[in-house]
Amino acid sequence: DSGVTQTPKHLITATGQRVTLRCSPRSGDLSVYWYQQSLDQGLQFLIHYYNGEERAKGNILERFSAQQFPDLHSELNLSSLELGDSALYFCASSSTTGGSGNTIYFGEGSWLTVV
Amino acid sequence: AQKITQTQPGMFVQEKEAVTLDCTYDTSDPSYGLFWYKQPSSGEMIFLIYQGSYDQQNATEGRYSLNFQKARKSANLVISASQLGDSAMYFCAMRATQGGSEKLVFGKGTKLTVNP
């Protein structure tokens, strides 16, 4: 158990809909990262938050948004869903940002299927 | 730009034998970290081992060791005494800095199959 909790574990929804994925980082970790893993794109970095502040954006679509709340949990919102958004979405956390130290632990992922 | 290359799409090993999974990286940052993760068919991403760029010794964690050759920019994972449960995808990743923040850049992975 990595200590990173993601909900829901599985989600099936229709095209055009909106979903919210939730992540609770490891106790004490201030950094939260979101990743998308699909068969054709591999693991893609989406966005990074540190202590409530957005720090970096990767290949995140405009239809997607995220935030980190004062209690440090984070949510990834996916809207106007398309078939191609079907993927495994990971949240990861670490205790700091920057530098070469500190392990990054991943949650078990949220499987999203868009039909 | 930072990049991770894993040249072995698939590897096979006999149970109880050792196996090396290759990883090369490219970065211009003097400070970086290298990670290996295991992803079984169930999907979770399990942290295995970490090596910092300034670490003098190669990292070890149980049956996992990281063969870090800085000059060659390689960070190979060695699994000793393979077990059937080691069958999984293995990803090499590098902590990359980006405007004061950081992210993990992943390789495409190596699928390891352990045969009985």
Q: For tokens 């090369």, what's the residue?
A: B24
3-state SS, A49-104, equals EECCEEEEECCCCCCEEEEECCCCCEEEEECCCCHHHCEEEEEEEECCCCCCCCCC
B103 touching A (Cβ < 8 Å): yes
Quick check: B104 and A104 CB within 8 A? yes
Tens-place pLDDT, residues A9-54: 999 999 999 999 999 999 989 999 999 999 888 899 999 999 999 9
Check: CB of residue B89 under 8 Å from CB of residue B111.
Answer: yes
Which 3-state string (H, E, C) describes B27-67?
A: CCCCCCEEEEEEECCCCCCEEEEEEECCCCCCCEECCEEEE
Q: Which of A43, A44, A90, A103 would you mutate first to test chain B, the one with the most B CBs within 10 A?
A: A43
When scoring B35, B39, B101, B108 by the number of chain A Cβ atoms within 10 A, the one with the most, hence best to mutate, is: B101
Query: Could B47 and A105 be called an inter-chain contact, meaning their C-beta atoms sit closer than 8 Å?
Result: yes
pLDDT tens track of chain B, all 116 residues? 789 999 999 999 999 999 999 999 999 888 889 999 999 999 999 999 999 998 889 999 999 999 999 999 999 999 999 999 999 999 999 987 766 677 889 999 999 999 99
The answer to whether B58 faces chain A, any CB pair under 8 Å, is no
Chain A neighbours among B 73-102 (CB < 8 Å)? 91, 95, 97-102
